[in-house]
Chain A
Amino acid sequence: MEINIQKRVLEANETEAQKNRNYFKEQNVFALNMMSSPGSGKTETLCKTLAKLMPQIRVGVIVGDICTTNDADRLEVTGAKVTQINTDQFGGDCHLAANLIFDSAKQIGLEDVDLLIVENIGNLVCPAEFDIGEDARVVVLSVTEGEDKPLKYPLMFRVADAAILNKVDLLPYLDFDAPLAVENMQKVHPHLPVFEISAKTEEGFGPWIEWLKIKVFEKTGR
């Protein structure tokens, strides 16, 4: 006997993501999901980004890692409201699912937050599959990785609304072909905005900060 089902397997996550979306809307908060492979410099990029946004834009950060509070400790110094999710309590998951975000957002308290940034777990595969109710997704690639990463992990670059190419201060010492990396990103995702920056030296931050400020303003009016 065949039983017809026709259901999306991730429906439970999609329902939770919608709950987050409603909550962010109600609180007038712009939510950004930041993703990358481990070691691409997400945390350092965020530290420098927060310093340039605050106090005009009030920022909350949810940091996902399998273990440790190291990233949250680094981000807290900026004065932003930070909370850490360790997924080892949930089976060492490789991504943040929507239900974890809701509880953390409540914990931060979004009443005095304009921008909520979720620093996802370092992984170019799994986080791309899970909607967390965000308004935009940004993927960070660094020049110490391969130029062909976008071709190897197309879903991540397909779902991103913008990309950051980080650590460009290292380009003189590497064989990394930056124009080819950008070309590969835009092969997978035509017209994807790509910001070439160095979180260490802070070069190239202008266009990235401008893009983010416009996004926040478009949703929140602030």
Chain B
Amino acid sequence: MHEMGIAEQLAQIAIDSIPKEIENPKVEKLNLKIGKLSSIVEHSLTFCFEIVSKGTPLENAHLDIESVPVKVQCASCKNAWEVTGPDFNCPHCKDGDVKMLTGREIEITSLELAE
């Protein structure tokens, strides 16, 4: 249950990103990218974010989470593919040393302020 720490970091980054000149800012939405292999439980993150955002410009902001597929590349034959189950062996050459391309992201891409 490390989502609380993630939610705290997320809130900190979002608050630091709001331009200082905006008076009484109110954030409506945070856009996130979360890789399918990252160990984040979406509803736990939303729940923790609700708690940490109370009394801040982020209160009631919606977390819009884009789930990023797990994509890998075989180091031997350079075949790249999307992994949909727990098997990371190369379906092409079966050799198997794989490099992660995507799927471990925990990123905040943007925030949307109320007009």
Contact = CB atoms under 8 A, between A and B. Distances in A.
B29 to A, nearest CB: 9
A9 B88 contact: no
B45 to A, nearest CB: 10
Contacts of A94: 1-2
B98 interface: yes
Contact of A158 (B4, B37, B106, B112): B37
Given A93-B2, A95-B2, A125-B39, A5 B13 contact: yes
Interface in A136-188: 150-151, 154-155, 158, 184, 187-188
A197 interface: no
B99 to A, nearest CB: 11
Interface string B1-20: 11011100110111001110
Interface in B59-80: none
B107 A8 contact: yes
Contacts of B110: 2-6
B89 interface: yes
Contacts of B19: 3
B56 interface: no
The secondary-structure label for the interface of chain A is mixed
A9 B107 contact: yes
Nearest to A90: B5
B67 to A, nearest CB: 15
A1 B24 CA distance: 14
Interface string B74-111: 00000000000011111000011110100011111111
A1 B27 CA distance: 9
Chain A: number of interface residues, binned into ranges = 20 to 34
A106 interface: no
Contacts of A151: 86
A1 B2 contact: no
A9 B106 CA distance: 6
Given A158-B37, A191-B96, A10 B13 contact: no
Contact of B10 (A9, A130, A184): A9
A198 B6 CA distance: 37
A128 interface: yes
Given A1-B112, A151-B86, A191-B97, 12 more contacts: A2-B111, A2-B113, A5-B17, A6-B110, A9-B108, A12-B9, A93-B2, A94-B1, A126-B39, A190-B88, A190-B97, A190-B98
